[in-house]
Structure 1
């Protein structure tokens, strides 16, 4: 994972910092990162071997080791080191000839013509993760937010990455931050907080369009954290509680309205059929006895339904 941290020219604003890697992740990055030490050692050994061979040949020709012989040895070492290069499996070498792009080469050994060609840059073609953020960015409803995100990208065209932009890794981080700020400025606080997936998709599409001309493909963009100012957190929590209470009361009111409609319909059915009402009364009594474990408490108004056969049926049910 790569991080980029820069300040603006005035050196005063912390909001322009790029690629701040969380401290907890830095040790793992250092342990797992690959190394080019083998390529560096190869170049050094090649220089020493070529210089020693040149020195031996020149010394044998003149019969002694003097300053011209040492200069010849130095020239041989430099020519060998600048003509034979070693690139790693994930790298592409951009070769320039007389200052113009000639070809990309690698991985493995790359040979160039001394003086005529030179090895300008090595392009890493692995997937790279760059951490970026937007500090105190105003939403459309004027709420300052701190948003942290990660972009996963890779170079698919080494030629464009070397010739179209000066420092493509830094450009990706700066472009990602600018795009994130614009996306936040177009949305409200609620939209940013609840539509994180939509924000990820918007950032990915915008960055793909802008970075394609630099030979860079955006694999994914993930918003890691959205921090709301502390002074607004209590107000947002109170608003959320009030909203939930209002919804609960509305649901209870709707339930009461439904119950009253059903009771009104039921009363219409029982109005013309006293026997059905008595059977319903007996059923309610049975349920009461069943739940109370044999004890039946009947209000005076409720007892009016227990007449005649209904009272006898209720008594039998209570005896059971």
Structure 2
């Protein structure tokens, strides 16, 4: 709450009061043997009362504050920031309004979404008082009221959305909360600057199930990508085969290149079917294969 004592004693008021009390004491001592005791006591009492008057009459509001002043219970105006005066026993500073940006954390525990999933949501509200008079007169405790309004709005928004929208649509949910809370607090002289959802906690069992679902989805996508790759490779081979249909020389050169690439690897073993030797004229390459095997044995 921002309510404080009806009279908040300021440092300036204390200093002025002490000065009058000291002056009253000195005056009483000076007049002790010059006038009657009754007059000396009356003068001391007068200075004492003047000191108490200034002690409570001088008030100081800090730069970010506004003081709500009531006179005989009726609103007479706002005072501050800075130095101002009130009439003790007549005026009353009922509330000190803070005009800085305020931060209010709020949450909703075990709140059911539209698809009946219990979630815990933590959020934070940034707001500011733009009309101190309304904040003081229209609502009993504006800080508590805005906290309850924010929590109620959060529960309403959660109940209207499925879990998937809550998890992926935080920005949209923040904007909806800001609009709802701002509509409720505007009559109190309060405006909501922003609402930010900090954390969303779902049941552990549901979290595990969602993790397995995501893993299965990634595996499915991997298989789809692999199948598309195989299809593209098959299409490439089909297109390449068209280039060799009427060009046996190119086909033989390609076969020789493949055999050469296989022989380059140390310890490589190349098995060539007899049908390939007959159809692709690879018999002339047997000598090359033998030399490669002999070279491999010498190195090993």
Shorter-chain TM range is 0.7 to 0.9
Q: Tell me the distance in 1 between the aligned counterparts of 2:278 and 2:154.
A: 74
How far 1:160 sits from its partner (Å)? 2.3
Verify: 1:234 aligned to 2:202, yes or no. no
Given that residues 66 and 80 in structure 2 are in contact (C-alpha distance below 8 angstroms), is that contact kept between their aligned partners in structure 1?
yes
Instruction: Give a deviation string over 1:24-47, Cα, whole Å, max 9, x none.
Output: xxxxxxxxxxxxxxx745277269
> Which residue number corresponds to residue 142 of structure 2?
168
Residue 272 of structure 2 is matched in structure 1 by 299
- Where do 1:46-125 residues align within 5 Å? 48-49=17-18, 52=21, 62-63=38-39, 65=41, 76=50, 79-97=53-71, 99-114=73-88, 117-125=91-99
SS of structure 1 residue aligned to 2:92: strand
Partner of 1:179: 153
Cα gap change, 1:172/1:287 in structure 2, threshold over 3 Å: closer, same or farther? Answer: farther
Cα shift at 1:135 = 0.3
Distance in 2, Cα, partners of 1:279 & 1:102: 104
Q: How far did 1:176 drift?
A: 1.3
> Is residue 123–residue 198 contact of structure 2 (8 Å, CA) maintained in 1?
yes
TM-score (normalizing by structure 1): 0.71
CA deviation map 1:282-302 (0-9, x unaligned): 333343344x24735143166
Q: Which runs of 5+ in 2 are unaligned?
A: 2-7, 32-36, 296-300
2:133 counterpart residue number: 159
Shift of 1:78: 5.4
Q: Secondary structure at the match of 1:129?
A: strand
Aligned residue in 2 for 1:218: 192
Aligned twin of 1:141:
115
Q: Note the alpha carbon deviations across 1:241-294, whole angstroms, 9 max, x for none.
A: 22222222222222222222322333333333333333333333343344x247
- The 1:171/1:274 distance shift into structure 2, 3 A limit, reads farther
Secondary structure, counterpart of 1:222 in structure 2: strand
How far has the Cα of 1:149 moved from its partner?
1.3
Give, in angstroms, the shift of residue 235 of structure 1: 2.1
TM-superposed deviation, 1:155: 1.6
CA distance in 1, matches of 2:98, 2:239: 76
- How far has the Cα of 1:145 moved from its partner? 0.6
User: CA–CA distance in 2 between the matches of 1:247 and 1:224?
Assistant: 32
* Structure-2 residue corresponding to 1:42: 11
Q: Whole-Å Cα distance in 2 between the matches of residues 102 and 272 of structure 1?
A: 106
* Aligned equivalents of 2:20, 2:110: Cα separation in 1: 58
Deviation of 1:143 after TM superposition, in Å, equals: 0.5
How far residue 57 of structure 1 moved from its aligned partner, in angstroms, is: 11
User: Do the aligned partners of residues 251 and 78 (structure 1) sit closer, same or farther apart at CA in structure 2, a change above 3 Å counting?
Assistant: farther
Secondary structure of the equivalent of 1:131?
strand
Aligned partner of 1:287 in structure 2 is 261
Residue aligned with 2:185, SS: helix
Distance in structure 2 (CA, Å) of the matches to 1:54 and 1:224: 60
Instruction: Give the count of matched residue pairs.
Output: 279
CA contact (8 A) 1:54 1:76 kept: no
Q: How far has the Cα of 1:48 moved from its partner?
A: 5.0
SS in 2 for 1:63: helix
Q: Mark the CA change 1:155 to 1:279 in structure 2 (over 3 Å): closer, same or farther.
A: farther
Change (3 A) 1:115 1:265: same
CA contact (8 A) 1:278 1:305 kept: no
- RMSD over aligned CA atoms reads 3.8
Confirm or deny that 1:199 pairs with 2:168.
Answer: no
- State the distance in 2 between where 1:50 and 1:171 align: 44
- Greater shift after overlay, 268-277 or 237-246? 268-277
Give the C-alpha shift of residue 81 in structure 1.
4.1
